[in-house]
A and B are shown apart, each in its own frame.
Chain A
Amino acid sequence: MEKQCSLRNGPEPSEFRQKLKVIIILVCVVLSLLVIRLWYLQVIKGDELRQRSENNAIRFRKIQPLRGLVMDRHGRIMVDNRPSYDVLYMPTKGLNPEMLVQKISDIYKTRALEYSTDLPLPRTVKSYLPVRLEKNVGMEKVALVETNALDLPGVYIDVTPVRLYVDGEVFAPVIGYTGEVSKEELEKTEEGYSSGDVTGKYGIEKVLDPYIRGRRGNELVEVNAFGKVIKNLGRIDPTSGANVVLTIDADLQKAAWEAFEDKAGAAVAMDPRDGSILAMVSLPSFDPNLFNAGISREEWVKLQKNPLNPLSNRAISGQYPPGSTYKLIVAAAALEEGVITPETRISCNGSFELGNRSYRCWKKHGHGSVNLHQALVGSCDVYFYTVGKMLGVDRIARYAKRFGLGDVTGIELAHERKGLVPTRDWKLARMKEPWQPGETISISIGQGFNLATPLQLVQAYSAMANGGSRWRPRLVERIAWPDGTVVKQWLPEKTGELKFGPKTMDVLNRALWAVVNEPGGTGANARVPGADVCGKTGTSQVIGLPQNEKARHAMKIAAFHKDHALFVCYAPLKNPEIAVAVVAENAGGGGAVAAPIARKILAAYFESKKKEKTNSAAVRLTQAAASENAQPVGP
């Protein structure tokens, strides 16, 4: 050792040796302190701390946030929250859930209440996870459980918010419903769900779930051996979700719902000026409040097996042959392509011959010689067979697409269907067969392969109404925090233009007005005094009807083979503010069934507008009076 010392030019190693000894002692002292502390915590206080961890005296409890409200355009609440009372059991030693369920149902029996739940009891009970015994119980049960708390150790009532759907059935197809997260949803880690969370399952509730959901809170509580909270140790409050303001007008929605009088079908009302959806109903519907408590299996099966499929929103996913409402598109195509002029006359004697087949006009003895205006007013089939044949299927398709048919509109809802605008290529690709000339004839009156959703129809007619702009149907106005700060706003969005000449627009607009307002028009039932309604009826065949008169009549009687009634309209003629599409399934003719429904919706719209006007006039009057009264104070 000493030999190397001379090599060093620094402090002596002996000095280091001294220091290191001190350091080693210091380190040992510090680490011994740690060992003593470890001994203190684990051995001296071990039992106490073990108790605290095992009994699990301290527990995290999740606090479910309030989901955002859903409001209509006037701020009326359509979806609210209400408290739901669940019976929970925090496992304690020596008691299994089965025994407790028995005890609870015995207690219920004294008041003739039944213990009813589908919730499966867990096979193994973990001392830190509460077991939910019963969901969404009434106040009577809450009182029973609370008063018998001593006999039910570990059982407690938990309050969680659940959805309250006002007029649930009316809004269900649009707003949807909520439920507990599923296993699949839990696996999507990026969503950050944890078991027991509530999430949107359908409609707006689902599409806007990330905004509406809010953020879970946590609570740290100390509980006693009976599972009762004895001390609140801390709490992170949940954050409520953001509120959604829809473009829907709740009153108009209700009017539309009532107008159907329980017929199956759908109606959409749109503001043609910006694409805002004012009302969207689909019947039959379901009560979304059923899903709050976790719907019972029976009820779920009943909903799913219903042949009328109440769980689908027909306005966006019901695809119907547009029938004669399609004539607007064929007429526009014919005028723009120069195939006809407004004056071109075609003679209708009740049928149209192509090859060795004859195609009937709905009017048995024909319309006589008609021009375009008369053909639209009387909905003459032969006129459009002729024009359609001149145009050919692909030219019609081009115009149909300009109207937005054959593609999704982009509304803020899931499950929207595309409808179908057939072309030669489509048929070849799809059916491996060439296009038949006869199929063009069916297409020209909106039958055959043609399919459109009510939403597409109202979008198409809105474009006609507003002078040629196609707007994306807008259902959501904005999302805002409860304090009013806007999270996201949806602006009107133009998705296309018709690009028709002014003459075409003028001729067609006048014809659609005449359909409703001229004598002999098929849409007379939609007339609203003073509103200048323009529209087109349609009756779409559910199955191909035999051309033979007798067989045709017999088939029409069978309810499920009855035609779908359609009516698409807008009003008023000058500066239209509302467009409506109505489809009534298996209900009969468009003019007889769908037009009256549309009339009721339009009437409700103009009625409430008038009321608003008088109201605001009254307000203005009182304000004027008030300011007049205030006048003398001035100099």
Chain B
Amino acid sequence: MIFLKYDRRLFQNFDWTLLALVLAICAIGVVNIYSTGFSLDGNQSPLYIKQLQWIFLGLALMVITFLIDYRSISQAAYVIYGLSVASLIFVAVFGHTANGAQRWISFGFFLFQPSELMKVTMIIALARYFDDHKSHEPYLLRELFIPCLIVLIPFVLILKQPDLGTALVLVIVSASIVLFIGMNGKSLLIALTSALAVMPVAWHFLKDYQKDRLLTFLSPETDPLGTGYHIIQSMIAIGSGGFLGKGFLQGSQTQLKFLPEQQTDFVFSVFAEEWGFIGGLILLVMFISLIVWGLKIALHSKDLLGTILAFGVTALIAWQVMINMGMVLGLLPVVGIPLPFMSYGGSALVTLLGAIGLLMNVSVRRFVLQR
């Protein structure tokens, strides 16, 4: 096994670009969270300090996921996946409830959200499965039964919490992976039509607040103090930033707490208010670069496993960026998906940095793998 064996080439060919991009976005995130915690009464919330601590913890995990050969990690894929599902079940039974949702395991000093971990472990499990079942032909629906199961189990558990946003991300990311490696056209058609047929039934199972969110998205002004309030205030915040922004700590929407969830789902509004179009553009370009870089890693991988892993992780980041931004900019309904590396939240940040470790792992080992 090439388990943790020191190899000079790991460092010679280290993917500095990827690390620099991720760290830069993380740094912007911390500065931005500092701004949200800066309130008028001078009570500095130490949130940005905590975020920094999460980043260091995440970097530690990144080192681990980078150093262990991803093929070794893949050996343990189903174990890791099983543990994640177990923790989701644990949450469903004993979990910590906040804001009406049962999503967290309390470790006393911090709350761990297994659904965030699930996003990454699901990708690893899918990669392992498709690597084990290589095929030159596009997959048929019946060949996708087990991958469907791999997605559906955590999907149902997370939907139950309830956390519609995260559950949808699982489905979208796994669908992207399947489409990427190839699916039989006919099968795809069947899958799509059956998904459409299920939708009205699914609507029935949504919680009232989830329905409200989807409905108010269609006309935010009808309920400005409730769900629509988030969207309106977010758009005012972003728009009032103008071309150059109001300046660091100067965003009145943010500082006056007009903006809800400003350190989590709506961080981008804070950023765009204070740094303007220029800041927003720069951040978006950084995200585009990160995504393109990730896809490039997927392409250059020496084996299918690496390709799927890299593609999955990149898809995860890309979808979350697109959905979060779309939501914050008033293009999509409010579904509660954080902005990668920017939103406050330990579980998401640590697992995402771990996932970046995997990406580096694949990126670097194309120079190491010889066989």
Contacts and interface: CB of A to CB of B under 8 A. Distances in A.
A58 B272 contact: no
Given A35-B281, A41-B329, A8 B239 contact: no
Contacts of A109: none
Interface stretch (B7-15, B70-78, B187-195, B299-307): B299-307
A10 B304 contact: yes
Given A9-B134, A10-B134, A42-B276, A50 B239 contact: yes
Given A38-B272, A235-B225, A31 B322 contact: yes
B244 to A, nearest CB: 9
Interface in A12-67: 13, 15-17, 19-20, 23-24, 27-28, 30-31, 33-35, 37-39, 41-43, 45-50, 52-54, 56, 58, 60
Contact of B302 (A7, A28, A41): A7
Nearest to B371: A7
Interface string B292-313: 1001001100111001000000
Interface in B342-363: none
Nearest to B280: A38
Contacts of B235: 41, 49
Interface residues of B, number: 55
B140 interface: no
Contacts of B143: none
A116 interface: no
A34 B329 contact: yes
A218 interface: yes
A47 B241 CA distance: 9
Interface string B320-333: 01100110011100
B242 A50 contact: yes
A490 B161 CA distance: 39
A142 interface: no
A60 B229 CA distance: 12
A42 B371 contact: no
Main secondary structure of the interface of B (DSSP, over half): helix
B252 A41 contact: no
B237 interface: yes
Given A37-B331, A46-B240, A11 B182 contact: yes
A218 B240 contact: no
Contact of B291 (A27, A45, A52, A233): A27
A24 B224 contact: no
Nearest to A235: B225
A37 B258 CA distance: 22
B184 to A, nearest CB: 13
A149 B331 CA distance: 42
A27 B238 contact: no
B99 interface: no
B243 interface: yes
A17 B299 CA distance: 7
Contacts of B229: 220, 234
A46 B287 CA distance: 24
B277 interface: yes
A28 B182 contact: no
Contacts of A10: 130-131, 134-136, 181, 304
B299 A38 contact: no
Contacts of A56: 252, 256
A35 B253 contact: no
Contacts of A45: 239
Nearest to A15: B182
Given A20-B299, A34-B284, A235-B225, A27 B318 contact: yes
B236 A34 contact: no
Interface residues of A, number: 47
A27 B182 contact: no
Contacts of A53: 236-237, 239-240, 252-253, 258
A144 interface: no
Given A19-B180, A52-B236, A8 B322 contact: no
A16 B253 CA distance: 45
B20 interface: no
A50 B240 contact: yes
A126 B239 CA distance: 21
Given A13-B299, A220-B229, A42 B241 contact: yes
Nearest to A11: B182
B288 interface: yes
A4 interface: yes
Contacts of A15: 182
B323 to A, nearest CB: 10
A17 B291 CA distance: 15
Given A38-B280, A41-B238, A20 B295 contact: yes
A404 to B, nearest CB: 44
B288 A27 contact: yes
Given A49-B235, A220-B224, A42 B180 contact: no
A128 interface: yes
Contacts of A35: 280-281, 284
B252 A54 contact: yes
B292 A27 contact: yes
B219 to A, nearest CB: 14
Contact of A54 (B240, B304, B307, B318): B240
B247 interface: no
A11 B307 CA distance: 11
Contact of B239 (A9, A16, A41, A58): A41
A4 B302 contact: yes
23 contacts: A7-B371, A10-B304, A11-B182, A11-B304, A16-B298, A24-B292, A24-B295, A28-B288, A31-B284, A34-B325, A37-B329, A37-B330, A38-B272, A38-B277, A41-B239, A41-B330, A42-B280, A43-B242, A46-B239, A46-B243, A52-B239, A53-B240, A53-B252
Interface of A: 4, 7-11, 13, 15-17, 19-20, 23-24, 27-28, 30-31, 33-35, 37-39, 41-43, 45-50, 52-54, 56, 58, 60, 126, 128, 218, 220, 233-236
